[in-house]
Amino acid sequence: MALRPVLLFPDPRLKRVSAPVEDVTDGLRELAADMIDVMYDEPGIGLAAPQVAEAIRMVVMDTEWTEEGNDRDAQVIINPEILEREGSVIWTEGCLSVPDFQAEVERAARVKVRYIDLEGKEHVEDCDDLRAVCFQHENDHLDGVLFVDRISRLKRGLYTKKRKKALKLEEEDVAESGAL
């Protein structure tokens, strides 16, 4: 098991638009297995390949999982597309790449999605609730969009300031412990 580090805001690699997967190779299967390990270890209910520095259109999701002990049933989703959006919902979201922050985001309440799995089988699915929100959140990652790009400029600005301050303190701590 390889626990790849999760890129954190404001890492510019999170802003890249990811490329479609052309072939399901052994390397891709290995990356998918690593991503599942990272998702449960963090813990999270989704993870997109760009969050582990791989700019390809693959995500893993398990929206049924809870820390209290639901069975693990991770799904690998390749080249997802949102075919239809319907309604709207406000959801309080978090992100493994955006530490110490949650915010309300407006999303479509229901989405029709198409993707392929690791066997190359195509799926078309209607989703609602958390699964619809998670699909939109993960699909955004593949387009270099974070949930903080979907909140007010004021809230994003406040968070960015707080995050940069935290990073500066971390750097100072590292420099101090090296000087000891």
93 binds, among Zn ion, ligand K1U, none (CB under 5 to 8 A by kind): ligand K1U
CA–CA separation, 130 vs 125, rounded Å?
14
Residues that bind ligand K1U (CB under 6 A): 43-48, 66-67, 93-97, 133-134, 137-138
CA–CA separation, 51 vs 32, rounded Å?
12
Is 59 a binder of Zn ion (CB under 5 A)?
A: no
CA–CA separation, 150 vs 27, rounded Å?
33
Taken in order 33, 35, 39, 41, the sign of the CA dihedral is positive
Indicate the SS3 state at residue 22.
coil
User: Which two tokens mark 156?
Assistant: 């994003």
Judging by beta carbons within 10 Å of its beta carbon (0-12, 13-18, 19+), is residue 62 exposed, middle or buried? buried
76 binds, among ligand K1U, Zn ion, none (CB under 5 to 8 A by kind): none
**What is the closest distance, in whole angstroms, from the C-beta atom of residue 87 to Zn ion in the complex?**
22
Terminal alpha carbon distance of the chain: 34
| Backbone angles phi and psi of 108, in degrees to 5 | -70, 140
Q: Which is nearer to Zn ion, 78 or 96 (CB)?
A: 96
**What is the closest distance, in whole angstroms, from the C-beta atom of residue 175 to ligand K1U in the complex?**
29
Q: Which is nearer to ligand K1U, 26 or 67 (CB)?
A: 67
Contact region for Zn ion (CB under 5 A) — 61-69, 88-96, 100-108, 117-125? 88-96
**Binding footprint of Zn ion, residue count (CB under 5 A):** 1
**What is the closest distance, in whole angstroms, from the C-beta atom of residue 178 to Zn ion in the complex?**
32
x/- string (CB under 5 A) for Zn ion, residues 95-114?
A: x-------------------
Residues belonging to the active site:
138
Applying CB under 5 A, the residues found at the interface with Zn ion are 95
